[in-house]
Amino acid sequence: MISHEQPHDPTDTKQEIASKIKNTLDGTCFAASDLRRLTGVLILAQAVEYEALVHLTALPPVQTSYCMISTPKTYYFDHDTNTQVQEYLPSALSLKEYALEHYSPSSQTHKPQCDQLGHALGAWLRMFHGWSQEPKQAAMRQTFAGNKDGQGLKNMINYQRLLQMVDQHPDVLGDARDVFQGVSDLAAGELLDKTGLYPIHGDFWTGNVLISGIPVTGSDRIPIRVVDWELAQLGVRPLDLGQFIAELWSLKLYRNIDAGEWFIRAFVAGYGLVDDNFAYRTIIHVGVHLICFGHFWSTTPEELSEGEPQHFIMYRIGKEIIAKAWSRDREYFRGHLLGCLFG
């Protein structure tokens, strides 16, 4: 698979872009006779992603009887044009696409597969978070630390935008302004405390987990790749969990796909025990993501639920769990789906 982000005239046609890529690869062992544009995939090729993937080749895959999870192999990178050649999974679907296609509607027969896959993804994320702190990964941490742009973007589109959402929807979110201000200040303060920052994926969601669509036989395992590392950075680990959980929960909240909740419980179990501070911080980010990105799940602007736009329902849910996590209301989460974070 080739990703490319070369500065070009925005009026360039697909043929002109393809020609530029071919010219870049001419003279290399990856010279292409033909190029095919992947559908449903957006890849921003950046030096930080390439460097991150090079370091991540040392991260052992997570293997179960069902699947093998790893990062994609990278083969070539042109620094001048940001053209990257990396491993391609034939007929791959993102986990989001896979769930919408195969688990809607959900059946109990799907649950064992969801449990296995969710648990394996949680175990992979826990292993990545732990492995990245090993002394041997100092060079990788330095690469992640250098992505200040990615770190700033992550904060802007989540915690700065959270306050903007209050201004845009005061009738729905206005009563939480003080709490949201505190949350935004917390996130800004975290970036100043270098001792609390660790390598994170930075954009860990169901769209960046690719599942091969090629049937497997015998003892083969389904290959799964965690992709798109352009936001790899130093941050707080609950951000990775919170974003992923929010997207899984959206399967249930927006499409009534029960598999979303099965995935969450299995994913959290696979990640393993965390302390209360970690759990509350994860829940806060779940809520932030629902508010800042929930509207992307709407199929139409007029999509209604209980007499109001569906994304307003998401905003209210996000607001409530943020407020409850901010006040550390443990009782509220007893019996709640997100209560699984407390073990």
Q: What is the CATH number of the domain that holds 167?
A: 3.90.1200.10
Query: What pLDDT does residue 25 have?
Result: 67
In a domain, 105, yes or no: yes
Res. 77 pLDDT band, cuts 50 70 90: low
In a domain, 41, yes or no: no
Query: What pLDDT does residue 91 have?
Result: 84
In a domain, 63, yes or no: no
Mean pLDDT of 58-84: 83
Lowest-confidence region among 60-64, 83-87, 237-241, 280-284: 83-87
In a domain, 10, yes or no: no
pLDDT in tens, 99-124: 999 998 889 999 999 999 999 999 99
Domain span holding position 245: 95-342
Res. 4 pLDDT band, cuts 50 70 90: very low
* 124 vs 41, more confident: 124
In a domain, 64, yes or no: no
SS3 162: helix
CB of 128 within 8 A of CB of 59?
Answer: yes
CB of 103 within 8 A of CB of 110?
Answer: yes
Query: What pLDDT does residue 37 have?
Result: 63
CB of 315 within 8 A of CB of 165?
Answer: yes
In a domain, 45, yes or no: no
Look at phi and psi of residue 8 and say left if phi exceeds 0, alpha if psi is from -120 to 50, else beta: beta
Query: What pLDDT does residue 307 have?
Result: 65
In a domain, 25, yes or no: no
Spatial CB neighbours of 241, under 8 Å, sequence gap ≥ 6: 125, 204, 268, 271, 282, 285
* 5 vs 167, more confident: 167
Query: What pLDDT does residue 308 have?
Result: 77
Domains identified in the chain, total number = 1
Helix (H) or strand (E) holding 69: strand 67-70
The overall pTM is greater than 0.85: yes
Res. 49 pLDDT band, cuts 50 70 90: confident
Does residue 26 have a pLDDT over 90? no
Q: Is the dihedral of CA 198, 235, 243, 58 positive or negative?
A: negative
Query: What pLDDT does residue 81 have?
Result: 64
pLDDT in tens, 165-212: 999 999 999 999 999 999 999 999 999 999 999 999 999 999 999 998
Distance of alpha carbon 208 from alpha carbon 161, whole angstroms? 22
Query: What pLDDT does residue 74 have?
Result: 81
In a domain, 88, yes or no: no
Other beta carbons within 10 angstroms of residue 55's beta carbon come to 20
Distance of alpha carbon 174 from alpha carbon 247, whole angstroms? 24
* Token output for 177: 């302004």
